[in-house]
Amino acid sequence: MNAALLADLRAALDAGAVLVDDEVTSRAAGFMQTDKLKARVLVRPRTTQHVAAVLRLCHAAGQPVVTHGGLTGLVHGADATPVDLVLSLERMNAIEEIDPLQRIAVAQAGVTLQALQEAADEHDLCFPLDLGARGSATLGGNASTNAGGNRVIRYGMMREMVLGIEAVLADGRMVSSLNRMIKNNAGYDLKQLFIGSEGTLGVVTRLVLRLREKPRSQDVALVAVAGFDRLAALLKHMDRALGGGLTAFEAMWREFYELVTTPPALSRPAVPHGHPYYVLVESMGADAARDSARFGAALETAYDAGLVADAVVAGSDRERAALWAIRDDVMQVARDGMPFIFDVSLPIFAMEGYVEEVRAALAARWPDHRCWVFGHLGDGNLHLVIRAGAPDPETRSGVEHLVYGPLARIGGSVSAEHGVGLEKKPYLGISRNAEEIELMRTIKRSLDPRNILNPGKIF
Ligand SMILES: Cc1cc2nc3c(=O)[nH]c(=O)nc-3n(C[C@H](O)[C@H](O)[C@H](O)COP(=O)(O)OP(=O)(O)OC[C@H]3O[C@@H](n4cnc5c(N)ncnc54)[C@H](O)[C@@H]3O)c2cc1C
């Protein structure tokens, strides 16, 4: 970076906002990444005006900018090269307002997901987005990746929870679109430009988020199922029987369930090993006694219909947490080194055949591979975690082709909820046609003509 730009940045921001050299390169590059940050300069603005000043200067100088939230993204969307400037939202972490009547929160983009969840809870409300990285992932990152997570089946993805956004464009213009209403059809819905665009169209600085009434009841069961057709039928059955109360339907293929319930994993089998599929089912409502009775009855009728092979229903908060701990112990897949992690979506009817096809192709090339499958079945979203051959880029590319290849025929997506970043960029054409990609490029060119925002990501 040229010295004049560095001096201008220092003059525009407060002391401590501009970090250089070791202060930057000693930082971790991201969650599950062993290397350190490659960028030489990192700025930490405190206000939207400061973000605008940074981008104005960078735009004039043609300086590439990579925005950082909590760095929990899983597709190398926040990777920075030595010539990039990193713009971190870490000091923009104020929850500015919670309005319990309107049921909204206004927050800066660097607030962690967990901080907002806890703040909403204090008002007897809930912010329903939830994912394993909640302690580090930021609201700006959640919006920029359109994060999904555990309760999409009931509340939708981040996109459904954002009412308004304030963002700074590549040239430093501030766009304050801090709508507070659920309904607002007055022209284009501009916030959507920034949701899911992975920092390529603007820097999200503040958000208005929709809060929900806090559920009063939570029922959780871990269910073993004898076949995939029954698993799919169980999803329909529970959704219908619970009348809108279903909040999670987290499926686990046998190998994943065995991994997370066998030492050194912390949990033990809640229902015995030996079944092909397991699913964590959760329902939330407003009346603990009535909801539990309905949940139990729904499972009973499922059992009578042959959809349930075995089940355990949690009877206390501790037991509920213990069942969730099984599903959440995802890091067991990395205990012998970092595997290849995939996030895809596809129609439910195609899932069983797809997983078998991928497994067969892996076995043909890497007979001693491991493949763990789990995911948010209710959303058509599977995670495949694969260990095969050497952990090098060539092997990864070979595995990627086996995982993504069949999705073109099936009509699935190479990215269900993690985004594209650098990792899925070569495969975007599997899930988006040429006209869609050209329109994306047109939007990018019009909002960021000098291509300074997260250049090279997505396409
Ligand atoms: C254990 C674990 C579990 C996870 N579970 C889920 C899950 O269930 N569902 C799911 O969807 N994801 C999941 N993730 C992925 C990750 O947590 C999400 O993608 C999250 O939304 C990223 O937020 P972040 O603040 O860490 O963003 P970062 O990783 O810092 O950035 C992600 C992308 O957003 C851009 N960005 C970040 N902040 C801004 C901003 N303010 N303005 C503009 N662009 C910005 C970055 O440039 C980058 O392209 C998981 C990750 C881990 C490690």
> What pLDDT score was predicted for residue 349?
94
> Which residues, other chains included, contact 438 with Cβ-Cβ below 8 Å and sequence gap of 6+?
none
Which of 73, 129, 79 lies closest to 105 in space, CA to CA? 129
For domain 217-331, give its CATH number from 3.30.70.2190, 3.40.50.970, 3.40.50.2020, 3.30.110.40.
3.30.70.2190
Confidence of residue 222 (pLDDT cuts 50, 70, 90): very high
213 to 95, 147, 216, 246: CA distances (angstroms): 19, 21, 9, 16
Distance 311 CA to ligand 1 centre (A): 34
Domains 3-88 and 339-439 share a fold: no
pLDDT above 80 (res 371): yes
Kindly report the CA angle at 225 between 219 and 226, in degrees rounded to 5? 170
* Residue 356 to residue 359: CA distance in whole angstroms: 5
pLDDT tens digits, 97-112: 999 999 999 999 999 9
Torsion of CA 435, 436, 439, 444, to 10 degrees: -140
Beta bridge partners of 166: 176, 206
Residue 33: pLDDT band with limits 50, 70, 90: confident
Question: Considering the chain, what is the average pLDDT of its residues?
Answer: 96
| pLDDT surpassing 90 at residue 391 | no
pLDDT of residue 64: 98
Q: Is the CB of 48 inside a 6 Å radius of any atom of ligand 1?
A: no
Strand segments (E) across 89-216: 95-99, 104-108, 125-126, 162-168, 174-177, 203-210, 212-213
Each residue's pLDDT tens digit, 435-455: 999 999 999 999 999 999 999
CA of 297 to the centre of ligand 1 (A): 38
Tell which atom from ligand 1 comes closest to the C-alpha of 72. 26
Other CB atoms within 10 A of residue 434 CB: 8
Q: What is the DSSP string of 221-260?
A: EEEEES-HHHHHHHHHHHHHHTTT-EEEEEEEEHHHHHHT
Q: Identify the pLDDT of residue 150.
A: 87
CB-ligand 1 contact for 45 (6 Å cutoff): no
Q: Give pLDDT tens digits for 127-174.
A: 999 998 999 999 999 999 999 998 999 999 999 999 999 999 999 999
May I ask the CATH architecture of the domain 95-213? 2-Layer Sandwich (3.30)
Question: What would the mean pLDDT of 373-396 be, rounded to a whole number?
Answer: 94
Q: Which of 37, 54, 131, 452 to mutate to test the pocket of ligand 1 (most atoms within 8 A of CB)?
A: 131
Q: Ligand 1: distance of its center to the CA of 276 in Å?
A: 32
Atom of ligand 1 nearest to the CA of 198: 49
The CB of 413 under 6 Å from ligand 1? The reply is no
**Residue of 145, 328, 385 best suited for mutating to test ligand 1, as the one with most atoms within 8 Å of CB:** 145
Atom of ligand 1 nearest to the CA of 421: 49
**CATH of 339-439 among 3.30.70.260, 3.40.50.2300, 3.30.70.2740, 3.40.50.2020:** 3.30.70.2740
> Residue 235 in contact with residue 153, Cβ under 8 Å?
no
DSSP 8-state symbol, 93: -
pLDDT band at 282 (very low <50, low <70, confident <90, very high): very high
Q: Give the integer Cα–Cα distance in Å for 117 and 97.
A: 13
Q: How far is ligand 1, taken at its centre, from the CA of residue 271, in Å?
A: 33
Specify the fold of 3-88.
3.30.43
Task: Give the full edge-to-edge strand order of the sheet including 203-210.
Answer: 95-99, 104-108, 203-210, 162-168, 174-177
Average pLDDT value for residue range 58-75:
97
Question: pLDDT for 292-303, tens place per residue?
Answer: 999 999 999 999
Distance 224 CA to ligand 1 centre (A): 32
384 lines ligand 1 (CB under 6 A): no
| Percentage, residues of the chain above pLDDT 70 | 100
> What is the structure's pLDDT at 337?
85
Shortest CA distance to 181 belongs to which of 157, 158, 162? 162
* Radius of gyration of the chain measured on its C-alpha atoms: 23
Does the beta carbon of 141 sit less than 6 angstroms from any atom of ligand 1? Answer: yes
Regarding the beta carbon of 72 and ligand 1, being less than 6 Å apart is answered yes
Q: Where are the domains of the chain?
A: 3-88, 95-213, 217-331, 339-439
Using most ligand atoms within 8 A of CB, pick from 33, 54, 67 the residue to mutate for ligand 1: 67
pTM for the structure as a whole: 0.95
Side chain identity at 295, as an amino acid letter?
Answer: F
The confidence score (pLDDT) of residue 283 equals: 98
Is residue 65 within 6 Å of ligand 1 at its C-beta?
Answer: no
Q: Whose CA is nearest to atom 45 of ligand 1?
A: 199
